[in-house]
């Protein structure tokens, strides 16, 4: 339980905002995909994309197929999917910058707490990018008729992000930075609503 605006809120887990806008995880949350099938499909996708992903990101997520057991990756994805599907509609999910169930499937996870690291695209300010995702989700909630202070709550959280300053995730040093993040706590049933739209993602973006 957390206290927000004087109310006790049953927050059961957190999600990174971009994960909450990924079509495949929206399907999992809405119980439209089977966790076991999704886990195998995701590991196959990642395996097929090894040569297309930036080497630093690839090593951070999977190391190599020899070093990071694919079965273990599938198991972690499936466990996270099952937890998402078991959530009751009246529970709440907190959208913030902490590692979530999807992050925990990765081998090293430096990208989960990193910002401005090198990938196949220009280095991205993760805080700013995730706040864009939060605003998009909030816009959809408002347009769908959900109410602030009842179905969702604005929050501000504090996190440590590691700034790679445009360098590869394998670079040894990153500068820790304390950031304030404008997130949301959202009722699970509201987040399951199909009117919460997925992000539009470029086919050129190989780093998931």
Taking only the tens place, the pLDDT of each residue in 3-14 is 887 888 989 999
Q: Longest C-alpha distance within the chain, in Å?
A: 51
Q: pLDDT band at 104, cuts 50/70/90?
A: confident
* Whether 95 contacts 127, CB under 8 Å: no
**DSSP reduced 3-state for 153:** strand
The reported pLDDT for the residue numbered 90 is 95
Supply the pTM of this predicted model.
0.86
Q: pLDDT band at 168, cuts 50/70/90?
A: confident
pLDDT at 33 over 60: yes
Cα distance between residue 91 and residue 102, in whole Å = 19
Helix (H) or strand (E) holding 131: helix 126-143
Poorest-pLDDT segment among 70-74, 165-169, 181-185, 204-208: 204-208
Sign of CA dihedral 119, 122, 123, 127: negative
pLDDT at 80 over 70: yes
Cα distance between residue 55 and residue 118, in whole Å = 10
- Residues listed for the chain: 208
């Amino acid at each position: 339980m957390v206290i927000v605006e004087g109310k006790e809120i049953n927050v059961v887990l957190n999600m990174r905002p971009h994960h909450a806008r990924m079509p495949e995880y929206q399907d999992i949350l809405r119980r439209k995909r089977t966790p076991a099938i999704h886990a195998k499909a995701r590991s196959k996708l990642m395996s097929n994309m090894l040569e297309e992903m930036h080497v630093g990101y690839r090593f951070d997520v999977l190391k190599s197929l020899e070093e990071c057991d694919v079965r273990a990756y599938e198991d972690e994805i499936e466990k996270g999917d099952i937890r998402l599907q078991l959530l009751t509609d009246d529970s709440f999910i907190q959208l913030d910058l902490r590692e979530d169930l999807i992050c925990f499937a990765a081998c090293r996870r430096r990208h989960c707490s990193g910002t401005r690291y090198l990938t196949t695209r220009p280095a991205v300010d993760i805080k700013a990018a995730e706040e864009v995702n939060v605003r998009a989700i909030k816009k959809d909630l408002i347009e769908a008729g959900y109410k602030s202070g009842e179905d969702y709550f604005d929050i501000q959280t504090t996190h440590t992000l590691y700034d790679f300053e445009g360098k590869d995730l394998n670079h040894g040093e990153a500068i820790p930075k304390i950031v304030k993040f404008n997130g949301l706590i959202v009722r699970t049933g509201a987040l399951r609503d199909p009117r919460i739209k997925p992000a539009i993602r470029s086919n050129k973006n190989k780093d998931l």
